Amino acid sequence: MSDEQLSVDDYIAAMPEGMGGLNEKMGIELVEISAEKVVGTMPVEGNTQPYGLLHGGASVVLAETLGSVGSAVHAHPDKLSVGIEINATHHRSATSGTVTGTATAIHLGRTTATYEVVITDERGKRVCTSRITCALLPRERFAD
């Protein structure tokens, strides 16, 4: 994988467990992938808290997914990425439709990668802002 935009299907096919069980349950779909920018969507329906609002934790899962994908692209082929820190500010609620997250790289280093993730509703209104940092670890640490 390089810094160029990748095929979403090729990226998912290269992962040991595809999108992963949690992402599949939450309906997260990747739209665009590169080390510099990752875009994905998630339905509000099925990802709500008891009052019918988008669950803040669901927004964090979307943010972590997008930042982790970007850092994995940046780290490939010699390293793997693992999340080490994430935070989120929830600005407004969403009650229906789809939210879109855009992860933009703010640091692509040798040992860490950091992304700002902006999640918006269908009107383009900001729902959440998150920041995720991933450690980039030598691939051989994960060999059997």
Work out the percent of the chain whose per-residue pLDDT is above 70: 95
Q: Which domains does the chain have, with CATH numbers?
A: 8-142 (3.10.129.10)
Q: What is the residue type of 24? A: E
**2 has a pLDDT exceeding 90:** no
Among 4-8, 9-13, 104-108, the range with the most confident prediction by mean pLDDT is 104-108
Active site residue 116: no
**Quick one: pLDDT at residue 73?**
95
Q: What is the residue type of 101? A: G
| Mean pLDDT value of segment 85-96 | 98
| Mean pLDDT value of segment 31-57 | 97
Calculate the average pLDDT of the chain: 93
Strand order, beta sheet including 98-108: 29-33, 37-43, 98-108, 112-120, 126-138, 79-90
Q: What is the pLDDT of residues 54-84, one digit of tens each?
A: 999 999 999 999 999 999 999 999 999 999 9
The two structure tokens encoding residue 52 = 């019918």
Q: Which of 64, 85, 116, 122 is catalytic?
A: 64
User: What is the pTM assigned to this prediction?
Assistant: 0.93
d(CA 92, CA 116): 18
**Quick one: pLDDT at residue 133?**
98
